[in-house]
Amino acid sequence: MNKFKKIFIFGFGIVLLVSIFLLVSCKKSDEAHSEEQMIARKIAPEKEILYYTCGMHPSVRVSPGDYDKGNKNCPICNMGLVPVYKEEGEMAGMEAHEQEALEELEREIKLSPRAQALARVKTEAIQFLPLYKEISTVGEIDYDERKMAFVAAWIPGRIDRLFVDFTGVRVRKGDPLVWIYSPNLLTSQEEYLLALETLEKVKESPFEETLDGARSLVEASKRRLLLWGISEKQIKDLEEKGEASTHMVIHAPIGGTVIHKNAFEGKYVKEGENLYRIADLSNLWVLADIYEFEMGWINTGQKVEITTSSFPGEKFTGKISFIDPYLNPKTRTVKVRVNVSNPQLKLKPGMYVNALISSQVHEGIKGSREVIYTCPMHPEVQSDKPGDCPICQMALVKKLQAPSGSVLAIPKSAVLDTGTRKLIYIEKEIGIYVPKEVELGVEAVALVDGEKRKFISVMAGLSEGMRVVTQANFLIDSQSQITGKAGAVYSGAIKAKDKDKTPPSKHIH
């Protein structure tokens, strides 16, 4: 019994000693933690916390009072909230919305080389470029109405022979088309031969009136033959032969392709009846639709690039020859007519084609034709003569003249369009970026190093040589909106230094 008492007393003593040791350790730890907090408060600058927000959901805002009560996580994704501080100094007396707007435009985003590499930040210099507004549309190929002709029967008669007996035949100007019999033609020829014979008999007459009457009869008979489609050559052959012909040959008035045929052997035709329709397909029209908001970029004489799926990789060139004077109220488009040369007859009427119209942009800051000198590190420093930069003392370099007709252009990828304003990030120095609100013009394209790229013309707020962020600007802007500077999201990619060994957040998207 004494043995069990000894064991119990010994065990109880060990438990008591361990409890005392743990209590002393916790007290020391709390004292050390409190001491560290006091030191941190002394070292860290005093900043007023406006609210707490979520790195993934910026719309979530928690007041400092609610945060102290335990609302320390995002109600949407349960991610830890981060504080947003209020800057002191000149901005202290501003209204909240004015302060936020000014903070956004004047804050500097600083990135370490590692952060730049992880975020894949890219910058590009603003430059003067010839910009072209491109309008892409579709069109349909049609016949050129100026190069079409109808072949009609000038006299009534019967078709006894066809020289062109099917649609699609290509003919040259003057080629025979039909051989037609006409009693009226036979009578007219006999009248002409009789008038010639009468003129020959009265040629030696002493009476001038008789001679003039015979000559008038010959001229009237010849004019009637000409009006019925008899050519001068045929009339001359008739005079030489002295015998009227029972048939007449109708010739092609133009060269081209027979696109319609209404002539058949043995058919009786009336005067004025259409027998053929011929079209010259070496020149065609493209009828394209232009939307109402694009009409300001369209003018007659502009070049048009035409492509079709029938001939991939091949481009046809045309010019705008006519713009309809009215708007289609149903489609809100205007029809334009483009003349296209088609010497190899590859394009066919009725085909659908793609049309690309380019118009040079003239709105924006125009390039100066004078030679200027600028600093490579501070492009805003410009001079009309050589010298040193007043900021960094570097020698100014000569700048090439801007191309003729060029305007100041910024890459489209550099612009953050919020709907009410347009924001860009300027590289003030390597690794330091500043947001700036700018006034921009139209979106256009330019040819850079043989590649077609999208740019936007600059109306105000920028100058040539400034470097702007063209990649990762969305990431920089989103973090600056949340924390006022680049935060520690992206596993520390934005703010963390190379020497920072802080583990990434456990909440990763």
Helix (H) or strand (E) holding 115: helix 113-119
462, 389: one domain: no
Asked whether the beta carbons of 448 and 364 are under 8 A apart, the reply is no
Q: How confident is the model at residue 300 (pLDDT cuts 50, 70, 90)?
A: very high
Q: Does residue 39 sit in the same domain as residue 104?
A: no
Angle between helices 183-201 and 232-241 (to 10 degrees): 60
- Secondary structure of 465-483 as H, E, C letters: CCEEEEECHHHHHHHHHHH
- Say how far apart CA 275 and CA 265 lie, in whole Å: 12
What is the arithmetic mean of pLDDT over 484-492? 40
pLDDT surpassing 50 at residue 498: no
Q: What is the CATH number of the domain that holds 325?
A: 2.40.30.170
Indicate the pTM of the whole model: 0.61
DSSP 461: S
Task: Check whether residue 140 and residue 159 sit in a common domain.
Answer: no
* Residue 497 predicted with pLDDT over 60: no
Kindly tell me the burial class for residue 276, based on how many C-beta atoms sit within 10 Å of its own C-beta (0-12, 13-18, 19 or more): buried
More confident of the two residues 98 and 324: 324
In a domain, 436, yes or no: yes
Amino acid at 458: V
Integer Cα distance of 157 and 176 in angstroms: 17
Residues 159 and 252 in one domain: yes
Q: Are 147 and 283 in contact (CB under 8 A)?
A: yes
Looking at the structure, do residues 156 and 274 belong to the same domain, yes or no?
yes
Whether 91 is in a domain gets the answer: no
Asked if 49 and 85 count as a contact pair (C-beta separation under 8 A), the reply is yes
25 vs 247, more confident: 247
- Of 132 and 41, the one with more pLDDT: 132
- Per-residue confidence (pLDDT) for residue 500, from 0 to 100: 43
Average pLDDT over residues 415-444: 85
Q: Confirm whether 322 is domain-assigned.
A: yes
pLDDT at 508 over 50: no
Half-sphere exposure of 59 (CA within 13 A, CB side): 3
Picking from 217, 251, 278, the residue at the C-terminal end of a domain is 278
Domain termination site, one of 278, 293, 312: 278
Q: What is the pLDDT of residue 349?
A: 95
Statement to judge: residues 407 and 490 lie in one domain: yes
Domain count within the chain: 6
Rg for the chain, CA atoms, rounded: 45
The CATH number that applies at residue 208 is 2.40.50.100
The CATH number linked to 438 is: 2.40.420.20
Mean pLDDT of 146-153: 91
Query: What tens digit of pLDDT does each residue of 443-476 get?
Result: 888 888 888 899 999 988 888 888 888 887 777 7
- Looking at the domain assignment, is residue 92 inside a domain? no
In a domain, 376, yes or no: yes
Q: Which of 39-48, 83-92, 263-272 has the lowest mean pLDDT?
A: 39-48
What is the CB-side half-sphere exposure of residue 424 using CA atoms within 13 A?
Answer: 26
Q: Are 119 and 475 in contact (CB under 8 A)?
A: yes
Question: pLDDT-based confidence at 240, cuts 50/70/90?
Answer: confident
Tokens of 348: 């066919």
Domain containing residue 50: 45-86
Say if residue 464 is in the same domain as residue 504: yes
**Contact indicator for 202, 186 with CB cutoff of 8 Å:** no
CA 409-412-416 angle, to 5 degrees, is 115
Answer yes or no: is 15 within a domain.
yes
Q: Are residues 140 and 185 in the same domain?
A: no
Q: Are residues 374 and 470 in the same domain?
A: no
Is the predicted pLDDT of residue 102 greater than 90, yes or no? Answer: no
Domain contains 93 = no
Q: How does residue 89 score in pLDDT terms, banded at 50, 70 and 90?
A: very low
Does 379 fall in a domain?
Answer: yes
| 418, 480: one domain | yes
Q: Residues 76, 121: one domain?
A: no
Chain mean pLDDT for the chain:
79
Of 376, 411, 474, give the one whose Cα is nearest residue 124: 411
Kindly state whether residues 198 and 258 are assigned to the same domain. yes
Confidence check: pLDDT of 422 > 80: yes
Among residues 278, 294, 316, which one ends one of the domains? 278
DSSP, collapsed to helix, strand or coil, labels residue 411 as strand
